[in-house]
Amino acid sequence: MAILKEFREFAVRGNALDLAVGVVIGGAFGTIVKSLVDDIIMPPIGILLGNVDFSNLFFVLKEGSKQAGPYVSVAAAKEAGAITLNLGLFINAVISFTIIAFAVFALVKVINQLRREKPAEAPAPDTKACPYCCSQVPVAATRCPQCTSALD
């Protein structure tokens, strides 16, 4: 019973819930970024580089046992049992990572700016030094209690 109680306390602690929400949102964000890279960023880059489809940029390391190459796509090569080096998929993953890393950096930067507190102003001093005997006297005092000198 003590273990269940400890687990319940852990599960409802703020950090665990924040982590769970972060993982779910991060997964959804990763899907959006993957679509952005695959469907919006890479096609124009492929056109600029001579109609290259990066998702199908691969090198055959070993021909397939079911069917010999050439293969028109990574999926066709895998279906034929070929071993491929998928350079285009790796490039897409690097671009996706870069976008996600920049977005996380921007988010952390904004959160850090929001968390920064303005430095508190120092309270006005409530004592001052007597110019004659250098003892501390209240600011409102007109005469020093130590040396009885008149203060301005």
Lowest-pLDDT choice from 21-30, 51-60, 73-82, 139-148? 51-60
Query: Given the DSSP bridges, would you call strands 83-85 and 59-62 parallel, antiparallel or unpaired?
Result: antiparallel
Fold annotation for 11-116: 1.10.1200
In the numeric block, which tokens belong to residue 116?
């920064």
Would you state the pLDDT for residue 74? Answer: 87
DSSP H/E element including 125: none
Binned at pLDDT 50, 70 and 90, residue 152 comes out as confident
Would you state the pLDDT for residue 7? Answer: 78
Would you state the pLDDT for residue 68? Answer: 79
pTM confidence score: 0.54
Give the whole-angstrom CA distance, residue 150 versus residue 46.
Answer: 87
Contact 56, 87 (CB under 8 A): no
Would you state the pLDDT for residue 65? Answer: 82
Lowest-pLDDT choice from 25-34, 44-53, 71-80? 44-53
Contact 76, 70 (CB under 8 A): no
Give the whole-angstrom CA distance, residue 40 versus residue 45.
Answer: 9
Residues of the chain with CATH 1.10.1200.120: 11-116
Closest CA to 88 of 59, 50, 49: 59
Closest CA to 94 of 146, 38, 138: 38
Would you state the pLDDT for residue 14? Answer: 64
In the numeric block, which tokens belong to residue 76?
């066709």
pLDDT at 18 over 80: no
What single string gives the DSSP state of each residue in 66-95?
A: SS-S--SSHHHHHHTT-EEE-HHHHHHHHH
SS (H, E, C) 5-61: HHHHHHHHCHHHHHHHHHHHHHHHHHHHHHHHHHHHHHHHHHHHCCCCCHHHCCEEE
